[in-house]
């Protein structure tokens, strides 16, 4: 059944857009002009979100409401769906910051001139197999080169799972410096850990300094020894105060907390069918740090070669990194790891490298 397409602008109804420009009279120049009588305006910030599924739209909506972009481009292979999502957001214009929202199916045309391109590749929520990986990389082959062609100076943020392997693939396909290709990694896992600890300690989650690192998923590592609140180490306090209770913070208990963190998304998906809002806020926090040059530290998936003892492979996995307008500006390379944590990171690097080699990139 064909669907009637309603106009999304007055120009689509035949009105000349140039007549609207004279609605307000222009004031005399203040002297800060470009020699042609017009004032210099800062270059608008453009964010492109490729993939208008639940995750992609949660990201777009959060970036929109937080005022992080002047233009948002939505790209999806379902033309009807992505237009519907665009109109749904445009209709809320009176309640939001002024943002130009465009949508369609043409990756190159729509993402051209992006400052940040966010890639969400849909896929079955199932165990990762080589066949599934190859299908997702095939989708990236259609997306990433087009983004790189139209936005050669952009930052590339991969949100799809398995994020570490797909971030590696996006890096290879883009030809970008590794510093400008990032995976969402364990940024959200770290938030889940911070929330659990914050609730137990009765503080705000933003006051808990805690990181999950390594391979995104079941093998992620919690950096227990570095967790602090207000400059005070948390683990030693919890072990001391719970020493005489039935629920002490021993190795088994810590592993139970880690499993609860990495299994958090699985529970959400089991209950509502998909996870979206938390990853939307997580990615928006990364976008803010990148686009506004905040120099904040986030655990994100990055090229980890040389940062993990005993690993010389070109693999992406999560480490705390300083993020700014140039992408990854620095990596926390002097982490204090236990022997078990270091061994887990090395095993993850080997596993990820095997996947990457199998893709033939």
pTM of the model: 0.89
242: burial class by Cβ within 10 Å (0-12, 13-18, 19+)? middle
Q: Return the pLDDT at 249.
A: 75
Mean pLDDT, the chain, as a whole number? 89
For residue 341, give both structure tokens: 């944590």
Tell which residue, 7, 26, 4, has the closest CA to residue 17: 7
Q: Return the pLDDT at 203.
A: 94
**For the segment 102-133, what is each residue's pLDDT rounded down to a tens digit?**
999 999 999 999 999 999 987 655 567 888 88
Q: Return the pLDDT at 311.
A: 83
Q: Return the pLDDT at 132.
A: 87
Cα-based distances in Å from 111 to 74, 101, 292, 358: 8, 12, 20, 30
User: Which strands, in side-by-side order, build the sheet including 208-209?
Assistant: 208-209, 228-229, 232-233
Q: Return the pLDDT at 334.
A: 82
**For the segment 257-309, what is each residue's pLDDT rounded down to a tens digit?**
899 998 898 999 999 999 999 999 999 999 999 999 999 999 999 999 988 88
- Across the range 193-213, mean pLDDT stands at 93
**For the segment 328-361, what is each residue's pLDDT rounded down to a tens digit?**
999 997 888 888 888 989 999 999 999 898 888 8
Is 80 assigned a catalytic role? no
Local confidence band at 182 (pLDDT 50, 70, 90 cut-offs): very high
Q: Return the pLDDT at 27.
A: 73
Distance CA 298, CA 203 (A): 20
Tell which residue, 145, 134, 215, has the closest CA to residue 176: 145
- Portion of the chain with pLDDT greater than 90, in percent: 64
Distance CA 207, CA 187 (A): 15
- Portion of the chain with pLDDT greater than 70, in percent: 91
Distance CA 314, CA 20 (A): 54
For residue 6, give both structure tokens: 């309603």
Selected catalytic residue, list 216, 242, 313, 355: 216
Local confidence band at 39 (pLDDT 50, 70, 90 cut-offs): low
């Amino acid at each position: 059944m064909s669907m009637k397409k309603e106009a999304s602008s007055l120009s689509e109804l035949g009105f000349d857009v140039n007549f609207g420009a004279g609605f307000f009279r222009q004031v005399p120049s203040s002297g800060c002009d470009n020699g042609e009588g017009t004032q210099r305006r800062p270059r608008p910030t453009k964010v492109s979100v490729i993939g208008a599924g639940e995750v992609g739209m949660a990201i777009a909506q959060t970036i929109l409401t937080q005022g992080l972009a002047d233009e948002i481009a939505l790209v999806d292979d379902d033309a009807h769906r992505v237009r519907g999502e665009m109109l749904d957001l445009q209709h809320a214009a009176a309640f939001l910051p002024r943002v130009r929202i465009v949508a369609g199916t043409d990756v190159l045309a729509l993402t051209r001139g992006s400052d940040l391109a966010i890639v969400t590749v849909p896929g079955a929520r199932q165990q990762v197999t080589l066949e599934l990986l190859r299908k997702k990389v095939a989708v990236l082959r259609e997306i990433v080169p087009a983004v790189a062609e139209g936005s050669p100076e952009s930052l590339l943020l991969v949100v799809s799972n398995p994020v570490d392997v797909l971030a590696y693939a996006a890096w290879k396909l883009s030809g970008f410096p590794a510093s400008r290709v990032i995976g969402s990694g364990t940024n959200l896992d770290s938030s889940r850990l911070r929330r659990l600890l914050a609730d137990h300690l009765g503080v705000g989650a933003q006051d808990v300094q805690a990181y999950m690192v390594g391979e995104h998923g079941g093998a992620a590592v919690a950096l227990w020894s570095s967790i602090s609140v207000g400059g005070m180490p948390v683990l030693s306090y919890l072990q001391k105060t719970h020493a005489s209770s039935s629920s002490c913070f021993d190795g088994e208990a810590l592993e139970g907390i880690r499993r609860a963190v990495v299994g958090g998304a699985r529970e959400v998906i089991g209950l509502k069918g998909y996870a979206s809002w938390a990853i939307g806020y997580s990615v928006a926090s990364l976008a803010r740090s990148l686009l506004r040059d905040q120099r904040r530290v986030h655990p994100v998936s990055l090229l980890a070669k040389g940062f993990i003892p005993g690993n010389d492979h070109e693999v992406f996995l999560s480490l705390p990194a300083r993020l700014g307008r140039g992408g990854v500006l620095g990596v926390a390379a002097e982490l204090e790891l236990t022997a078990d944590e270091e061994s887990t990171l090395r095993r993850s690097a080997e596993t990820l490298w095997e996947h990457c080699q199998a893709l033939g990139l």
